[in-house]
A and B are shown apart, each in its own frame.
Chain A
Amino acid sequence: MTAPTTQERVSHRVPLWRDVVVLKWFTQVVLLVVVLGTMGFLASQAGDNLRARNISTSFDFLERPVDIQLSEGIDTHPDTGARALWTGMVNTLRMSIAGIFFATILGVVVGLARLSDNWLVRRLGSMWVETLRNIPLLVQMVFYFSVLTTLPRVGLGTGPINGWLHVSNKGISMPRVFIADGFYQWLVVVLIGAVAARFVRQHRQQIQDETGAMTSPILWGLGTVALFGLVGLFVHPVFSWMGPVFGRIADLLDSLPVIAPQLGFSAIALGVAVTWIRRFLSAHRSARGHLSLSDDDWFRIVFAAVASLAVVFVAVRWTGLSAWTLDSGRDLFQVLADKFDVDGAARPFDAMRPDIIQKGMFPNYGKSGLTMSIGFAAVFFGVVFYTSAFIGENVRGGILAVPKGQSEAAKAVGLGRGQILRHVVLPQAFRVILPPTGNQYLNLLKNTSLAVAVGYSELVQVGSTTYNQTGMTLPVVAIWMLFYLSCSLTISVVVNWFNVRMRLVER
């Protein structure tokens, strides 16, 4: 018990300007003041300049009509700025999801090809990787675009496989399977099937664990889902009663006062903060219950409290947010109610072949096929090929990172080639592959913004058209950054969740 007193005496002797704690906080506060001051100075400069140039920075343009034509998307002639930007966001997401899906498949193929026993395949794989990852993505995209624009012009009855696949300078058109009126009821059947599949899988796994017989539980699970999907094609109208239920929920949300979501938000914020602080405190308590907190820990606690109070403040002061939450919840359930309110003859899916129509002078693709415009195709091939090279390297590195002893041991136990890969190598490799691949997904999302160079109307392209027309650069840039930040955050949360799960599996 002498140590603290010595410390105390020492700290009494140290003058204020030599005290580490004082110095530490002094520097930090000075830095904070400098950063905030610089930002405030720049902001005030920007305000003056904007006023001098008569540029407003409000978000009004979102509500006002705009005159923008988009090349493709859910709404090619949007009537407001908000609608235009929303179309751009949907196009970005569409490209990212498609890109991530195909880049993963191609990347795994490339990675496995580079590890193949076959010399030619190995060479082909490394050629693919070394060529694609050393050429800037934008250059690749522009190249694909310029190749696609010089394809033959679309005419009635052209294409490699007439009526099934058309390739021309208007894009690539192919048959399309789309969801029809009965889809949502069918989806309910499939969801029930998924729950059932879980039980089936567990059951088969149990049998395998007890008897040692090969019961292939995963195949059985997948088979159950498929069976439900197949049966659902015929029995889905039995779920029509869910429409009125959703309608009832929508009515309920409509009748709730604005205070309800405000209370909800506040409760969540406070609850999360309190739980976090309690956990943090109990984690820092020693076995005897002695609490030792550094100034850094105190900072964290204060920060958590302040942040939750800020959320409460925003929720209470900004009633628009709560009203919007209620409205959009109501709209969502209203839409669901409408979707379920269909007659029994509706089919879950429909399919159509591409068509070519002559409207005016030149023939063009009709709406029935699945058409990739050349802008879409250029961006799509660009991001998929480019990312596949990087994912391929991740896959290769991950598999090489599994010690050779693992597969040798598995071979010694008597597992076959496929079994070694599936049960021993891949699960371990996956843990190494996942984090960098998650980074590649983020990169892919951000790289879709290069589509502005080839005229695919994703968010950046729509945004730059908007600010060229309305002069609202600052709000548009703010919307871009918010959108990309939230998308990046979502992807990293998902990847982290997988990461944590993989780590738990290990123990």
Chain B
Amino acid sequence: MSEMSSGLGVPTIPAPPEEPHLPPRQWIRENLFSSLFNTVLTIVSSLVILAIVRGLLAFIFNPQRQWEATATNLRLLMTQAYPEEQYLRVWVCVAVILTLTAMSMAVWRAGSAVPLPGVGRRLLSGGVLLALMALLAPFGTRSTFIWLVIGIVVAAGGEALRRFADEERSLSTLALLAMALGGLVATLWVVPYGSHTFNLQRTPRVLAEPGTVAMSTKLPWTLMLVVAVAAYFVGTLVRDRLPTNPLRATLLVTWLLMPPILLYLVLRDPSFDMGHVFTTDIPIFAAYAVLGGALLSWLTRPSTGEAGRIVAALVLVAGFAMFATPMRMIVRLDMLLLAGFALSAPTFSGGPRARRRYTAGWLGVLGMMSWLITAINTPSTVDVPGGFFIGGISLTLMVAIFTIVISFPLGLALALARTSNMPIFRLLATWFIEFVRGVPLITILIFFSIMVPLFLPPGMHLGEVAAVVIGYSLFSSAYLAENVRGGLQSVTRGQHEAAEAVGMTTSQKTVFIVLPQALRVAIPPLVGHCIGVFKETSLLAIIGLFDVLYIARYVMSNQTEFMGSTKENILFVSLIYWIFAYQMSKASQRLEQRTGLGER
């Protein structure tokens, strides 16, 4: 942004090699006091660190801080104004995602194991850190003493574990994580984090006895933890009993299908009459699936030749002609999709296996599109006066995911157009990319959020969030195109020539030879781009959408109980963003190391 844009794109640099393990005294001498200059640096930077830590602790533990504001408003931050009585759907979504994550972790054997002495070492340093913090934080004498004792006890336990535990025995990090989360959830039942919640009119309403956490919070979270742990164990059981590859493939497909299904689950009107779906949508899908499948299966036959191209062109003409006649939108869009598939059929022509795969691809894309159109057409009861019905982190994630998904094919097309040898394509792509990269995201978002209604024909309507997602996707596609172009340029001339020598057409060369190699090289910058897109969703706050930043800055700090709690709220929001972005960048670095991208 900003990464993308703004900070889009995080440069990734190979980590320095691991240092050899030295005895502490020698390590300190070599790393901290090797020369006079180094000693001065050490002293200065330890003073700086001391000041930072002290300032941070003084800020956090200042009695004036209203951390209750975030604890109380967690629901607002997560989903904003999603109706209370429909909340079960959200919990089901969370449970599905947790189950999938836990099962995938079990099946892929993710996570490492730490030998017990290692756990002890970590406990030791954690305890020492805790004790130091207790000394630095502006506590009263009594709390300082308590925390100091806790720190020392933890450190002593860690030291004992480090000394006496068996090196052979180990503890998996997932188990450690589950224990930590379990502890956290357990505190929900004892520690009063916040005692009330806010409903739609933003009037405070006490949901629980003072000094406890509401049952509607602690019960679901406890259930979620149980679900996740259970899913992990089911995953380990299944892993050992079923063949690996089909299992992994099933999980992958489920992951791919989940977003539309969950979205549908969250948006759907529970009293919606499904008759329409059965009488119209499914027949249309079936007709296109059968007839289109047959057509494509004929078109991908290598012997079809000239006639196939003429038929494909006719399908395209028919698709456009449908826009001039009264017709259901879904019929027209499906026709255009079919035309696209038909026109690119010669590229994928081949033996029976290739043909079957192409037809299956058609069925998948058609199904996905029908599903999305039906889901969008489904009326939603989740209707909130004055704005979009979800907000907070859900809105952030939704906008980010949609933007990435939409801008990916767009960026790919732009990159190909910019590197093609067709001057008008190249010119249009170059102008678009350079124009978009030259202006700030916020101007584009403002333009799309207020100006889009002006450009629409009468009778057509586009919600503000949808308009913003379109603008954001156009913006992000320009940056994505540049990342892909970098990958395209790294494909050597010889690859092109070899593909041509084998007799591939230009599109076959692009699809089967160039793009796979280019995208592989482009993975690290693309992940950086995704992080940038995620971070820059915070700009939605400027145009007045209820994202986390907006809620933290304007909604929460204007609640009568928590007047002037902006600083705390924003610190919390930064923490949320930081956790997501940091995890993504770490994951990308791991991926890079595993595929050895840096070295080639």
- When C-beta atoms are compared, the residue in chain B nearest to A393 turns out to be B11
A373 beta carbon closer than 8 Å to chain B:
no
Query: B7 touching A296 by the CB < 8 A rule?
Result: no
Q: Can you spell out 27 A-B residue pairs with CB atoms less than 8 angstroms apart?
A: A28-B422, A28-B424, A31-B425, A32-B428, A45-B454, A118-B31, A119-B32, A131-B578, A133-B581, A134-B581, A134-B582, A135-B535, A136-B549, A142-B549, A142-B553, A150-B564, A396-B13, A443-B5, A443-B7, A446-B6, A460-B442, A464-B446, A477-B443, A477-B446, A484-B438, A484-B440, A488-B439
Distance between Cα atoms of A249 and B428 in the complex (Å): 44
**Interface positions of B from 23 to 46, Cβ below 8 Å from A:** 31-32, 34, 38, 41-42, 45-46
Instruction: Count chain B CB atoms within 10 A of each CB in A24, A140, A295, A393 and give the residue with the most.
Output: A24
Interface size on A, residues (CB 8 A): 67
Nearest-neighbour CB distance to chain A for B123, whole angstroms, equals: 21
Establish whether residues A134 and B438, one from each chain, have CB atoms under 8 Å apart when the complex forms.
no
**A118 in contact with B45 (CB, 8 Å):** yes
Could you give, for residues 49-79 of chain A, a 1 whenever the CB lies within 8 Å of some chain B CB and a 0 otherwise? 1100000000000000000000000000000
Which residue of the partner chain A has the closest CB to B10? A133
Q: Are A460 and B570 in contact (CB under 8 A)?
A: no
Q: Contacts A133-B10, A147-B567, A390-B3; is A139 near B446 (CB within 8 Å)?
A: no
CA distance A481 to B553 in the complex (A): 28
Give the segment of B184-192, B232-240, B283-291, B538-546 that binds chain A: B538-546
B566 touching A146, Cβ below 8 Å: yes
Query: Assuming the A-B contacts A31-B425, A46-B454, are A447 and B440 also in contact, with contact meaning beta carbons closer than 8 angstroms in the complex?
Result: yes
User: Is the interface on chain B under 10, 10 to 19, 20 to 34, or 35 or more residues?
Assistant: 35 or more
Query: Is the CB of B61 closer than 8 A to any CB of chain A?
Result: no
Which 6 residue pairs across A and B have the least CB separation, nearest first?
A134-B581, A119-B31, A446-B440, A28-B424, A488-B438, A449-B440
Sample of 8 more A-B contacts, CB < 8 Å, known A137-B535, A139-B577, A146-B567 = A45-B456, A118-B31, A118-B38, A120-B49, A124-B48, A133-B3, A295-B423, A460-B443
A251 within 8 A of partner (CB): no
The yes or no answer to B588 lying at the interface (CB within 8 A) is: no
Query: Are the C-beta atoms of A481 and B567 separated by less than 8 Å?
Result: no
A119 contact set on B, CB distance < 8 A:
31-32
| Highest count of chain B CB atoms <10 Å: which of A119, A147, A303 | A119
On chain A, the residues within 8 Å of B7 by CB distance are 133, 137, 386, 390, 443, 447
Interface string of A29-52 (1 = CB under 8 A from B): 101100100000010011001100
Nearest CB of A to B131, in Å = 20
Query: Complex: how many Å from CA A494 to CA B536?
Result: 27
- Shortest C-beta distance, B547 to chain A (Å), equals 10
Cβ of B456 and Cβ of A446 under 8 Å apart? Answer: no
Residues of chain A with a CB closer than 8 A to B42's CB: 118, 120-121
Within 8 A of B (CB), among A351-386: 386
Quote the shortest CB–CB distance from B361 to chain A (angstroms): 23
How many angstroms from the CA of A116 to the CA of B16 in the assembled complex?
12
List A contacts of B421 (CB < 8 A). Answer: 296
Nearest A residue to B442 by beta-carbon distance? A449
User: In the complex, A137 Cα to B34 Cα: how many Å?
Assistant: 38
User: Main SS of the interface on chain B?
Assistant: helix
With a cutoff of 8 Å between Cβ atoms, the chain A residues found around residue B5 in the complex are 443, 446-447
**Known A443-B5, A447-B5, A485-B435; contact A135-B574, beta-carbon cutoff 8 A:** yes
With A120-B46, A296-B423: A138-B574 Cβ-Cβ less than 8 Å: no
Among candidates A436, A453, A481, A489, residue contacting B443 with C-beta atoms closer than 8 Å: A481
In contact, B542 and A453 (Cβ under 8 angstroms): yes
- A27 proximity list for chain B (CB < 8 A): 422
Q: Chain A residues near B32: list those with CB within 8 A.
A: 118-120
Bound-complex Cα distance A484 to B438 (A):
6
A124 touching B439 by the CB < 8 A rule?
A: no
Contacting pair A136 B536 (CB below 8 A): yes
Is B541 within 8 A of A453, CB to CB? yes
Q: A135 touching B440 by the CB < 8 A rule?
A: no
Within 8 A of A (CB), among B392-445: 421-425, 427-428, 435, 437-443
Bound-state Cα–Cα, A372 to B417, Å: 47
0/1 per residue, B59-75, Cβ < 8 Å to A? Answer: 00000000000000000
Most buried by A among B7, B446, B539: B7
Cβ A481 vs Cβ B425 within 8 A:
no
List the B residue with the shortest CB-CB distance to A481.
B439
- Interface presence of B585 (CB below 8 A): yes
| A133 CA to B7 CA, complexed, in Å | 8
A135 lies within 8 A of B3 (CB): no
Q: Given A134-B578, A142-B553, A477-B446, are A116 and B573 neighbors across the interface (CB < 8 Å)? A: no
| Interface of A toward B, CB cutoff 8 Å | 24, 27-29, 31-32, 35, 42, 45-46, 49-50, 116-121, 124, 130-131, 133-140, 142-143, 146-147, 150, 295-296, 299-300, 303, 386, 390, 393-394, 396-397, 400, 436, 439, 442-443, 446-447, 449-450, 452-453, 460, 464, 473-474, 477, 480-481, 484-485, 488-489
Closest-CB distance, A124 to chain B (whole angstroms): 5
Cα separation A100 to B273 with both chains bound (whole Å): 59
Task: State in angstroms the CA–CA spacing of A334 and B574 once bound together.
Answer: 52
Nearest Cβ in chain B — how far from A478, in angstroms?
A: 10
Residues of chain B within 8 A of A449, CB atoms compared: 440, 442-443
Residues of A within 8 A of B48 (CB): 124
Chain B interface residues toward A at CB < 8 A: 1-3, 5-11, 13, 31-32, 34, 38, 41-42, 45-46, 48-49, 421-425, 427-428, 435, 437-443, 446-447, 450-451, 453-458, 531, 535-536, 538-539, 541-542, 549, 553, 564, 566-567, 570-571, 573-574, 577-578, 581-582, 585
A484: chain B residues within 8 A (beta carbon) = 438-440, 443
- In the complex, what distance in Å separates the CA atom of A146 from the CA atom of B573? 13
Q: Smallest Cβ distance from A319 to chain B, in angstroms?
A: 28
B409 to chain A, nearest CB (A): 16
Q: How many angstroms from the CA of A27 to the CA of B506 in the assembled complex?
A: 15
A450 near B542: Cβ-Cβ < 8 Å: yes
Query: Chain A residues near B455 (CB, 8 Å)?
Result: 42, 45-46, 49
Interface pair B49/A130, CB less than 8 Å apart:
no
Q: How far is the CA of A147 from the CA of B581 in the complex (A)?
A: 24
Q: Is B41 a contact of A120 with CB atoms below 8 Å?
A: yes
> How far, in Å, is A468 (CB) from chain B's closest CB?
10
Chain B residues whose CB sits within 8 angstroms of the CB of A134 once the complex forms: 531, 535, 577-578, 581-582, 585
CB distance from B577 to the nearest CB of A (A): 5
Contact A135 B451 (CB under 8 A): no
A393–B49 Cα gap in the complex (Å)? 21
Measured between beta carbons, the chain A residues less than 8 angstroms from B564 are 150
A44 to chain B, nearest CB (A): 10
Contacting pair A139 B11 (CB below 8 A): no
Using A28-B424, A138-B539, A447-B5 as known contacts, say yes or no to A117 and B578 having CB atoms under 8 A apart: no
A453 / chain B contacts, CB cutoff of 8 Å: 541-542
Among B451, B454, B456, B582, chain A packs the most CB atoms within 10 A around the CB of B454
Q: How far is the CB of B63 from chain A (nearest CB, A)?
A: 15
- Select from chain B the residue with minimum beta-carbon distance to A297: B423
**Chain A residues positioned under 8 Å from B1 (CB to CB):** 443
Q: By the criterion CB–CB under 8 Å, are B567 and A150 in contact?
A: yes
Supposing A120-B41, A134-B582, A449-B442 touch, asked if A394 and B11 sit within 8 A by C-beta, the answer is: yes
Question: Do the beta carbons of A300 and B425 come within 8 Å of each other?
Answer: no
Considering the chains assembled together, what is the distance between the CA atoms of A119 and B439 in angstroms?
41
A485 touches B438 (CB 8 A): yes
Q: Given that A396-B13, A477-B443 are contacting pairs, would A137 and B6 also be in contact in the complex, using a CB cutoff of 8 Å?
A: yes
Q: How far is the CA of A177 from the CA of B529 in the complex (A)?
A: 42
Distance in angstroms between the alpha carbons of A287 and B13 in the assembled complex: 45
Q: How far is the CB of A460 from chain B (nearest CB, A)?
A: 6
Identify the interface centre among B439, B441, B456: most chain A CB within 10 Å of its CB.
B439
Closest-CB distance, B282 to chain A (whole angstroms)? 33
Chain B: CB-nearest residue to A29: B424
Please indicate the chain B residues that have their CB under 8 angstroms from the CB of A137 in the complex.
6-7, 535
Q: How far is the CB of A96 from chain B (nearest CB, A)?
A: 11
| Cross-interface CB contact of A124 among B49, B442, B549, cutoff 8 Å | B49
Q: Which residues of A contact B567 (CB under 8 A)?
A: 143, 146-147, 150
